[in-house]
Structures are given as C-alpha cells and as structure tokens.
Amino acid sequence: MTLGSTPRQADAFRSTTEFCAPRVRADSIYALLHRECFNLFPDELFADLFADVGRRSVPPLIVAVVMVLQRLEGLSDREAVERFTYDARYKYAAGGLSFDHPGFAHTVLVDMRARLARSARPERIFEVTLEVARAAGLVGVRRVLDSTPLYDAVATMDTVTLVRSAIRGLLAAADEREPGLRAVLRRDDDYASAGKPACDYDDRAARAALVDALARDGYALLAALDGERLAGPLAEAATLLATVLGQDLEDGPDGTLRIARRVAPDRIISTVDPEARHGHKTAAHGFDGYKGHLALDPDAELITATAVSAGNRGDAAAASELLAAELAATATTVEPPPEAAAEPAASPAPLTVYGDAAYGTGELLETLDAAGATAMCKVQAPVARGGHFSKDAFTIDLAARTVTCPAGRVAPLRGAGPVAIASFGAACAGCPLAERCTSSTEGRTISVGAHEAQLARARAAQRDPAWRADYRATRPKVERKIGHLMRRRHGGRRARVRGRPKVGADFALLAAAVNLARLAVLGLVRAGPTWAIRST
C-alpha cells in the first residue's frame, strides 16, 4: 500500500470550512487542527509506514486527525469513522474537506495503529505535540510526576481457568507437534473450547480432583518438552504454562496438587493479557491491569512524557523513564571554556521535579541529586510501632558512623552492606526512656540505608513553609490533568487494547490529544518557520 495524499484544494461550494468556521470556537481542538493539520501531521510524516508500490492508502493526515479526536472523545473505531462520515467538524478539522468526502472502514484505524507499532517511532503523534510546544516556548524546566490505574481490557481469571487456558495456548502453539503432546494428556478434555470446565464446584472433593487433574496435564506437557530448545510462540506458551502452574499450585499432604493458600507477588492474572497484574493505588483501592504514568509541565499544563507499567510496579520505578530526556540533557550540558565568552553566561535553571510520597524514594532522590536537579518530592516521615520514638528522634552521624538516642547514648553503625544497623542492646536496660523507645528485651536498633543522607535532607527541606507553599501550589495540577485523561468511559480508565506495548501507545495517543486540546486553548499558531502563541 502506498502513501495517500490529503486534498489541499477545497471546493468552495462543498467545503465544510464556510459552514464550520463561524460555528466552531477558535480555541477548540477542531479549529486548531483545521488551521494547522498540514503542519502538524503532514502525510510525509508517515511515509516510512508505506511501500513504494501498491494501491493508495487513506491519507495518513486524515487518519491521524480522526485518531486524535477519537481518543479525546472516547470513541470506538466504528464510532470514530461514523463521526468522520457524518460530523462536519471532523472533516473541518482535517483541513476543511468537502461534505461528501468519502469515509473509510474502521479497520483503517486498526491498520494504522499496527503500522505505527512496527515502526521506529511508534509514538510520533505525541512527539509532534511536544515538539511544537517546545518550539513555541511552552515547555519549561519543572515537572510534576504522577500515575493512575488503567483497568485491563480482559477478565481476571481464577486458577482453574488460568491453568486450562495456558494448556490450550500451548496446544495451539504446537502446530505439527500437537498430536504427540495431546497423547500425554490424561484428563477427559479436548481443550478446544474456552472457559471453565464442567464440575460440581459446590463439591470440595470434585473441585480438588479437577485442580489436580488439570495440573498433572500441565506438568505432563512440560515434561514432554523438557530438554528441548524451544523458540517462538511455543517457547512463550511453555513459559506461560510453567509460570501459571508455579504461582498458584503446591503439593498437598496427600500427594495431590492443590491451589496454594497464598498470592504470588508477581501473579499473572490472565493468559489473554499476561502482562497485566493486581495493583493497589492505595491500601484500600485495588485494581487489575496497568499503571499509566505521566510527567507534566505545570506552567503550560502540557504532558511531556508518558509510560505504562504493570499494575504492581511502584510509581517511582517509572520516574527515570518519564525524565529520560531531561536527565540526558542535564548529563550532556558542558560548561563553555572561559575564553569562549566575552561575559559570563547566565546559568540555566535547574530541573525541578515534584511528586507525592510515592516518588520520595532514596533511589529517585539520588538520581535527581546526581543530575543537579531540585527534588520537590514528598518524603514520608519515619514511624514506629506502639507510639515509640520514631527514627527522626535519633541523631544519625553518617561521617562518624554513629547513632545517638534521645537519652544521649551512642551506638556505632555496623555493617558493610547497603544497610547498617546501630544496636543499643544493654544500654536500654536501665534507660529511663526505654518504655517510650522499645518493647524488645534486646534493646532498640536503628537501620540506616544507603540513601539515608538524601532522605534526611529531603525531610529537613520539606519542613520549610516556602517549600510547602510551592509544593501545594504546583503538585495538584497533575491531578486535574489526570482528570482530563480519564474523563471518558471508553478508553479512559479502561484500556481499549491488550498488552503493555499497545496500552502504552494508546495512552501516549490520549496524552497527545489532551495536549492538542490544551494548545488550542493557549492559541498555538504557525509563525513563519516556527510556532508561537497567539497574542490576545
């Protein structure tokens, strides 16, 4: 399929421009796309996705405009194509097409997403929004980080369904080896249909027998493949089956295989989407799926980076990915030699990163410290059980490697690893503050981690009223932006696709649409060779 071209010459009698221009607000995304779509998403931007010979594709500019509006308005593929066919604003946004410009099949959107996923720049639509924002001088040096749950697009499976589905997947991937593998199965099941097998689930013995039989069929398949060098889909299916069997099952006292009375820390919850996980946004709020992470410029309220991780991954683990461009720019900044400038140049403002307590980890603070960035991430104060003295009541001297307790007693820090421990031992026995400090007969101990210095400095800084005022004025802006991302039912909180790469690309496209809506409000225009904000 070759690259199609978007028509630029409008028919004065059939164009949507004269109809929509006086009716569409100038600060709407429809007006922005109408004015600038040929500069934002020229067909040539997508030239690498198409071949040199073949039939013409639907012009990529038109498809990109529909994809952006689809994500902003939370539409399915079929609904988005219907909007383009019948809603004049969609054709107006695509450069002022005629009212009778032909529509296209919804599979064109599916095909474009697949082509983008296979390309070297799968998130180019989001990258374009960021490039024009930078060219207009809208992207500064402050970033606010946060994350939000993304519910997966599949049903969470119980253990019986997981094991049976994994067996079905391995048989389906076996191709010509399937008859030989089926020969090792002993359970009366052809594993052809999906779903839970027939069983009297109210009968405990019947349930136990079913679990044991499924598990033995699964282990028999793995034993038949043991020692072979597998590749491709069969290797992936065998790995998935082994993982599912190992995470949920254990040997019972009578020799049967039974469901383990525990939850594996990285438990697969669906064979349809093996990368989805159980997650917890708070202790009381659980979900199944992924986490969507974003970095926000709080001054222009534009999203500068996105990432998607498994639902059980910590928020701060994605921070380096969200700040990759800023940290790389900081690392490559070189001071000019003294003789190169006639007068001293002003030092660039440092990167400043805001985040709630989920981002106040020692690892992230150390990374920001090494990059010369200012960390405005909230760090939790230490706590102690039973109302005892918390860790911050002790004086920790890292240089002398000592810890002084509230009663003035000093204990050395011992240990050469990442964690050092100060043990007060017998000194606590006659201490008048012992009841307020520890209930252990062996005395109080204090653990000091590798990032104690960064955490202590951060806790001291956030006691400053100016620090708190800046934090409270800046960090909540990301909550409003998450509200913009999640407001639509379809494709907002609930993922529309399966697998982390696809969910990540869809989340980036949603961020691009929200960025364009924000740029429209700010008044983005093309000013000669660059971009600017229209003066009011």
Q: How far is CA 177 from the centre of its chain?
A: 38
Q: How many CB atoms lie within 10 A of CB 229?
A: 5
Domains of the chain: 1-122 (no CATH), 124-155+280-332+348-379+462-518 (3.30.420.10), 159-259 (no CATH), 385-451 (no CATH)
Is 179:153 a contact under the CB 8 Å cutoff? no
Q: In this structure, what are the phi and psi dihedrals at residue 15, rounded to the nearest 5 degrees? A: -70, 145
- 401 in the Ramachandran plot: left (φ > 0), alpha (ψ -120 to 50) or beta? left
The model's pTM is 0.90
- 232 in the Ramachandran plot: left (φ > 0), alpha (ψ -120 to 50) or beta? left
Is 345:301 a contact under the CB 8 Å cutoff? no
Return all residues near 413 (Cβ < 8 A) that are at least 6 apart: 401, 402, 403, 420, 421, 422, 448
The closest of 324, 170, 291, 329 to 239, measured between CA atoms, is: 170
Q: For the chain, which residues score pLDDT lower than 70?
A: 10-13, 331-347, 489-490, 536
Residue 293: in which H helix or E strand, if any?
A: strand 285-297
**Cα 315 to Cα 154: distance, rounded to the nearest angstrom:** 23
Is 45:128 a contact under the CB 8 Å cutoff? yes
Is 154:291 a contact under the CB 8 Å cutoff? no
Q: How far is CA 281 from the centre of its chain?
A: 13
Q: Identify the pLDDT of residue 344.
A: 58
SS3 536: coil
Is 486:479 a contact under the CB 8 Å cutoff? no
**Cα 245 to Cα 167: distance, rounded to the nearest angstrom:** 10
**Cα 29 to Cα 450: distance, rounded to the nearest angstrom:** 49
Q: How far is CA 57 from the centre of its chain?
A: 32
Is 377:475 a contact under the CB 8 Å cutoff? no
288 has which bridge partners? 278
The closest of 286, 277, 335, 334 to 308, measured between CA atoms, is: 277
Is 319:355 a contact under the CB 8 Å cutoff? yes
Q: Identify the pLDDT of residue 333.
A: 57
SS3 67: helix
Q: Identify the pLDDT of residue 336.
A: 55
**Strand 352-355 vs strand 142-151: parallel, antiparallel, or unpaired?**
parallel
The closest of 353, 356, 357, 354 to 380, measured between CA atoms, is: 357
**Cα 98 to Cα 87: distance, rounded to the nearest angstrom:** 12
In total, the chain counts a number of residues equal to 536
Q: Identify the pLDDT of residue 331.
A: 67
**Cα 244 to Cα 311: distance, rounded to the nearest angstrom:** 18
The closest of 233, 265, 235 to 248, measured between CA atoms, is: 265
**Strand 352-355 vs strand 374-377: parallel, antiparallel, or unpaired?**
parallel
Read off the tokens for 533.
């904000």
**Cα 305 to Cα 511: distance, rounded to the nearest angstrom:** 9
Return all residues near 417 (Cβ < 8 A) that are at least 6 apart: none
Q: For helices 500-522 and 60-73, what crossing angle results, to 10°? A: 90
Q: In this structure, what are the phi and psi dihedrals at residue 329, rounded to the nearest 5 degrees? A: -65, -35
Q: Identify the pLDDT of residue 108.
A: 97
Q: How far is CA 235 from the centre of its chain?
A: 27
Is 304:295 a contact under the CB 8 Å cutoff? yes
Q: How many CB atoms lie within 10 A of CB 418?
A: 9
Q: If you search the block for the tokens 């240990």, which residue do you land on?
A: 415
Is 167:241 a contact under the CB 8 Å cutoff? yes
Is 41:65 a contact under the CB 8 Å cutoff? yes
Give 208-259 pLDDT, tens digit per residue. Answer: 999 999 999 999 999 999 988 888 999 999 999 999 999 999 998 888 999 9
**Cα 325 to Cα 315: distance, rounded to the nearest angstrom:** 18
